[in-house]
A and B are shown apart, each in its own frame.
Chain A
Amino acid sequence: EEQLVESGGGLVQPGRSLRLSCTASGFSIGDYALNWVRQAPGKGLEWIGFIRTKGYSATTEYAPSVRDRFTISRDDSNGIAYLQMNSLKTEDTAVYYCARDAEWFVRFYYKAMDVWGHGTTVTVSS
């Protein structure tokens, strides 16, 4: 079964850093781009960024709300993606999900997030 499992969440003070991990099983993580998505308490889903495959130089894209503070990286040999979060703010409190980026050809290429983890909770509070 293809799975993603997030880990590394916890309670952290504002201004501090935290690194989340996303571990894949049942498929080769190196074949896919990977997204990070979060859900703040009582709110909807928010895309925060993704990392392309090494075939596309593992380049990254980020939402404006986290650009310059968050960094996504990947270790394909160990089947793990990371989300490094620096200068954390109380508004970063959320459940963080990683999600695999799948692509289909239906006249054109289309993308969607087809495999998700169950999430890890990050609480930023003093």
Chain B
Amino acid sequence: DIQMTQSPSSLSASIGDRVTITCRASQSIGYSLNWYQHKPGTAPKLLVFAASNLQSGVPSRFSGSGSGTDFTLTIHSLQPEDVGTYYCQQSYSIPLTFGGGTKVGIK
């Protein structure tokens, strides 16, 4: 199974800050990496697919990059509504696996 490791596990930043979350795969997965946002009591939301493609309707302050084993999700200007937990997920091979999550809060 491919293990996905996210860092940090949590962070707090100020409104308007640039926030970076990293995700590392235990083996090369090409560009088969997705990012989701999850807020308590709600449905998880797809933000980025295939490493760098923004899902329709997602604000342009979100971006994804990387390939192979190392990937990054960036929030270019943190907004109050971005509070939540962010997960990476590999779609390269079965079983599909998620990272452990990064909880983002506001300072």
Residues of A at the B interface (CB closer than 8 Å) are 35, 37, 44-47, 50, 61-64, 97, 99, 102, 104, 106, 108, 110-114, 116-119
Task: Give the residue name and chain of the A residue nearest to B100 (CB).
Answer: A44
B71 at interface, CB cutoff 8 A = no
| Max chain B C-beta neighbours (<10 A), residue from A37, A46, A112, A116 | A112
Does B98 lie within 8 Å of A111, measured CB to CB? no
B14 at interface, CB cutoff 8 A = no
B interface: dominant SS: loop
The 4 closest A-B pairs by CB, nearest first: A110-B50, A116-B43, A112-B49, A112-B34
In the complex with contacts A44-B100, A97-B44, A118-B42, A64-B95 CB distance below 8 A? yes
Does A119 lie within 8 Å of B43, measured CB to CB? yes
A118: B residues at CB distance < 8 A: 41-43
Does B50 lie within 8 Å of A97, measured CB to CB? no
Taken together as a complex, chains A and B put the C-alpha atoms of A35 and B1 apart, in Å, by 18
Taken together as a complex, chains A and B put the C-alpha atoms of A102 and B56 apart, in Å, by 13
Interface range for B:
20 to 34
Does A46 lie within 8 Å of B98, measured CB to CB? yes
Task: Give the residue name and chain of the B residue nearest to A98 (CB).
Answer: B43
Does A106 lie within 8 Å of B44, measured CB to CB? no
Task: Give the residue name and chain of the B residue nearest to A48 (CB).
Answer: B95
- Sample of 18 more A-B contacts, CB < 8 Å, known A50-B96, A118-B43: A45-B36, A45-B44, A45-B87, A47-B89, A47-B97, A63-B95, A64-B1, A97-B44, A99-B44, A102-B49, A106-B53, A110-B32, A113-B36, A114-B49, A114-B55, A117-B43, A118-B41, A119-B43
